[in-house]
Chains A and B, each alone.
Chain A
Amino acid sequence: QKEVEQNSGPLSVPEGAIASLNCTYSDRGSQSFFWYRQYSGKSPELIMFIYSNGDKEDGRFTAQLNKASQYVSLLIRDSQPSDSATYLCAVFTGGGNKLTFGTGTQLKVEL
């Protein structure tokens, strides 16, 4: 089992819709969880992090964490074409020393 798993997609949503991106992780001791956005040919850009169970909102983005289910998700409201990118879920593993990335989910927001 991979340490961090994501559906590679592509996930296609119409403009204005809610995009839901999911991620599961295997290390039950993980404490911090991150969502990065990566445009083609560019390096990852941090969107937000979460470390408490529940929801965390920042603008159009909401991160949701469920440690019991080892599941973290990212919701993007009012999706825009500029949101089209690969979204990487990352988790601190190995006692919090190493940031492990999922393979990313490609999101396409269509007009």
Chain B
Amino acid sequence: GAVVSQHPSWVICKSGTSVKIECRSLDFQATTMFWYRQFPKQSLMLMATSNEGSKATYEQGVEKDKFLINHASLTLSTLTVTSAHPEDSSFYICSARETRRSGVNEQFFGPGTRLTVL
């Protein structure tokens, strides 16, 4: 399958600081990338859909001014958690969509970034 990388894999920061997470599709171009958040023992919750060259689409209840998404190229999307607080501590996972020649869309996940806000 296709490879998606994330950086950093884990980060610890002080409350009030901003944290940027990068997501890259390494061997394919992804016009659409997705950002998920997962709290312990819960399923993945989609935060936003990131389209190359346009504004991200946020899910209901996700603050767009707090979670800034930039999809500057077909292989890179970034999520910036601004003014992070302890309740933002979570496992953030990006996903990139590849469309096969058959027309079926497949989504591949990055390894995730564990954010801890002190």
Chain A interfacial positions (CB closer than 8 Å to B): 32, 34, 36, 41-46, 49, 51, 88, 90, 92, 96-104
Ordered by A's residue number, 6 sampled pairs between the chains whose C-beta atoms are within 8 Å are A41-B91, A43-B93, A44-B44, A44-B109, A46-B1, A103-B43
Number of chain B residues close to chain A: CB under 8 A:
20
Given contact pairs A42-B111, A42-B112, A98-B49, A88 touches B104 in the complex (Cβ within 8 A):
no
A43 to B43, Cβ gap below 8 A?
no
Nearest chain B residue, comparing its CB with the CB of A6: B43
Instruction: Give residues 71-118 of B contacting A (CB, 8 Å).
Output: 91, 93, 95, 104-112, 114
Is A96 a contact of B43 with CB atoms below 8 Å?
no
B89 to chain A, nearest CB (A): 14
B19: interface (CB < 8 Å): no
Chain B interface secondary structure, helix, strand, loop or mixed?
A: strand
Tell whether, in the assembled complex, residue B44 and residue A101 are in contact, meaning their CB atoms are under 8 Å apart.
yes
B1 to chain A, nearest CB (A): 6
Cβ of B34 < 8 Å from any Cβ of A? yes
CB-CB nearest in chain B for A103: B43
What chain B residues lie within 8 Å of A102 (beta carbons)? Answer: 43
Q: Is the CB of B109 within 8 A of A92?
A: no
CB contact under 8 A between A92 and B105, given known A101-B43, A102-B43, A103-B42: yes
Q: For the complex formed, measure the closest distance between the CB of B100 and the CB atoms of chain A, giving whole angstroms.
A: 10
Please name all residues of chain A whose beta carbon is closer than 8 Å to the beta carbon of B46 when the two chains form the complex.
98-100
Q: Are A49 and B104 in contact (CB under 8 A)?
A: yes
Does B104 contact A43, Cβ atoms closer than 8 Å? no
Determine if A43 and B49 form an interchain contact, defined as CB atoms under 8 angstroms apart. no
Chain A contacts of B95 at CB under 8 A?
A: 99
Contact B107 A46 (CB under 8 A): yes
List of 3 A-B pairs having minimum Cβ-Cβ separation, nearest first: A43-B112, A103-B43, A43-B109
Chain A CB within 10 Å, residue with most, of B46, B104, B110:
B104
A45 to chain B, nearest CB (A): 7
User: How far is A98 from B109 in the complex, measured between Cα atoms in Å?
Assistant: 14
Neighbouring B residues of A92 by C-beta, 8 Å: 105
Given known contacts A43-B93, A43-B112, is B42 in contact with A34 (CB within 8 Å)? no
